Structure 1
């Protein structure tokens, strides 16, 4: 008590008993507060150690996150509550193994994706008469867009530049088809005669070759073939009757291709800006960037495919001309058109050239043409494709084969034609969306960026 009263005595003021008692009370309160703070710190440390797997404190701590333990859980001898994973929402989920929960989550998500994909394929199949012409129009637009750009830089009006390019491309296609048809019409009589000679040679080989078939056996097989044709005449006739409907669909699709190509070339940027504005603001910049990269990939793919197809047609056509195989120009044109289906297209058209060479010039010339077709295909696969296509549209050959097979099953020849560019576009879009993180961009910036040619 003296150590409290001394300062006041030095100042000359007496210390009362009330002040002494208040001083003692303050010291006791300070000690209690320090003890309380120390207890709280110990409790926090105990909870941290228990959550980490080592219980070093005597304080009980509930597992967080999770429901608060009931009072019965603190009774001596009661089992502690089971630890719950952060991904669970109830105690029942915690009883299921973590691997099984992950597998179930993947399973139902894959089922949803499969159902949505199946529904989309059904919708596309239902309106294929619209989807297929639009897909062809996109390919033609990607091919002709550079020509429209050249005319626009030459100060042509946009509508005039689009019309000139579209009419010029249509004239080139019609002229090529006219030459091919004329060549076939002029050479069909000679080819028919050569085919008859080839059939007679095959008959002689069947008689004198290793099979040693007799005339009666040949006649019986021929009669069976004619009977099969007569039995299936109704099927052939019904197919012929549906040709009118097929022709109407082809004409409708051709008109839609022309109109869609014209508007894609003239108003492509406006259409794309409209589609981008339908998306949330936070996604517009990224989707616009991925879409423009995909369009560049599609254009590069189509132009590279045209160049590769032209080289294939010229290579095989030179061998056909050198060995005087008939229909050299139509066969080269067929190679060019079929080369738009990668890997298998030029091979099938080359097989047609080999058959024509076999009928017209014999087995030796046919073998030479076969070697030429294989050599051109090897040059295409190992030199032209990696060199011309480039890394921007590089796709693994297995993906190409699977895509072509799926396209043939779903949409026939058109599906095989569209499958590979679709895979290339999706590859670029997914890579761009997954790899690039862009800052939040106001919608005005997206509109300005999308106005670039």
Structure 2
């Protein structure tokens, strides 16, 4: 055999091996199928194990990559994407509530009032009163109580307006004299009444457009407030009268197999919310009564109005009553002087100590156990998202959510013994 023949035979062998290698590569790259094209255009049968081998190869590669990632990073990634999803959902809910605040705020107020007044409606109905009539009596009675409290506050302010004005003028003069002749040596021009009148007149003249805009905004706000009040009253009536039917309808949005657990969790959350609202009412009444007694003893003007302010502020736990009580200290300072203001401050501190060490552990501790740090964080987040209104609703919502989630996180019952809620 000549050298040329040997070279030609070697080239044919190499060409055949190359064609076989290409055929095997094409077979592995093809999806599952019965045939695959050969290098010369013909079709050859694809091996049955080609695709499974490819899948095994990919799985082995992924397994190698997974083993290269630390377990801590796996756990962090699994937690991370879930936290991101929950955060996005929470942000969406918060944005929707804020965007629809003219509807959501009256509804939330109606829910809190329902938690407070529902026992009254049930008691009247148990005495044989028609449910609709019992609901109407409860709503009208609540309106009468609120109107009576507002009347007492306004009448006390009006009756003491002249005395309060005189005391404020005297206190302002004492404060100005101390600032001028005391260690600060503030210039007397800052306390010249004529100078302030001139400044105010100039500002009013130069800001007529701004004042007109503010007046229009105030008128619009009053209209929104009246509309929200009407929506609150209507919602309160129907929540008291048909609350269970409304909740049953909402339960239809949940799968049948989970309705019983969601219903139980919501019931426990509602009981915690109701207990919290009633306990907060008692604490607020105690704070307001304590400030009223102290203000009357010291002789602070408009004592009922200051007590009502402390009562409202007490609905924001930990900080609300203290901040609103500080207003009473300022009124005592301006109207009566330093000594009475210090006595008023001492009375506020005593009231806060009684609330923090006696009333809150005894009443709120039984209603729902919330850590003080959780309460402060909830109030801070509520203020950021909704201002004062957000602070008022933050802790009640936290009480409901805490109990609701705690009940859902209990051990899942056996499916064989779990009856589906109808």
Please indicate the TM-score interval, normalised by the length of the shorter structure: 0.7 to 0.9
Deviations 1:306-334 (A, max 9, x none): 01111111111111111222212221122
**Counterpart selection for 2:169 from 192, 196, 201:** 196
**Counterpart selection for 2:313 from 314, 332, 338:** 338
The 2-side partners of 1:404 and 1:127 are apart by 21
**How far did residue 90 of structure 1 move?**
5.1
- Name 1:282's counterpart in structure 2: 257
**Counterpart selection for 2:357 from 378, 382, 401:** 382
The 2-side partners of 1:245 and 1:226 are apart by 25
Does 2:367 match 1:367? no
SS of the counterpart of 2:409? helix
Q: Where in structure 2 are there 5+ consecutive unaligned residues?
A: 1-50
The 2-side partners of 1:216 and 1:314 are apart by 42
Identify which range, 291-300 or 113-122, moves more after superposition.
Answer: 113-122
SS of the counterpart of 1:438? coil
Kept after mapping to 2: 8 A contact 1:180/1:330 = yes
**How far did residue 357 of structure 1 move?**
1.4
Equivalent residue runs for 1:50-449 within 5 Å: 91-215=64-188, 226=200, 229-230=203-204, 234-440=209-415, 441-443=418-420, 446-447=421-422
The 2-side partners of 1:315 and 1:395 are apart by 25
**How far did residue 154 of structure 1 move?**
0.5
> What TM-score comes out, normalization by structure 2 length?
0.80
Structure with the larger RCO, 1 or 2 (CA within 8 Å, 6+ apart): 2
1:96 to 1:212, Cα distance in 2 relative to 1, 3 A:
closer
1:263 to 1:214, Cα distance in 2 relative to 1, 3 A:
closer
1:237 to 1:351, Cα distance in 2 relative to 1, 3 A:
farther
**How far did residue 273 of structure 1 move?**
1.5
**How far did residue 218 of structure 1 move?**
5.4
Kept after mapping to 1: 8 A contact 2:167/2:336 = no
SS of the counterpart of 2:412? coil
Aligned residues: 367
Kept after mapping to 2: 8 A contact 1:143/1:299 = yes
Deviations 1:237-290 (A, max 9, x none): 422220111111111110111011111111111111122232112101110100
Q: Where in structure 1 are there 5+ consecutive unaligned residues?
A: 1-66, 74-80, 448-453
**How far did residue 216 of structure 1 move?**
5.0
1:299 to 1:200, Cα distance in 2 relative to 1, 3 A:
same
> What TM-score comes out, normalization by structure 1 length?
0.75
Deviations 1:405-452 (A, max 9, x none): 111121122111100000010110111000242344333xx34xxxxx
Kept after mapping to 2: 8 A contact 1:286/1:438 = no
SS of the counterpart of 1:390? helix
The 2-side partners of 1:149 and 1:246 are apart by 36
Larger Rg: 1
**How far did residue 215 of structure 1 move?**
3.6
Kept after mapping to 2: 8 A contact 1:194/1:359 = yes
Coordinate RMSD, CA, aligned: 2.7
Deviations 1:193-232 (A, max 9, x none): 2212222112211221112344457559959965995566
Kept after mapping to 1: 8 A contact 2:279/2:367 = no
1:437 to 1:204, Cα distance in 2 relative to 1, 3 A:
same
The 1-side partners of 2:354 and 2:241 are apart by 38
The 2-side partners of 1:421 and 1:293 are apart by 14
1:371 to 1:167, Cα distance in 2 relative to 1, 3 A:
same
1:218 to 1:391, Cα distance in 2 relative to 1, 3 A:
closer
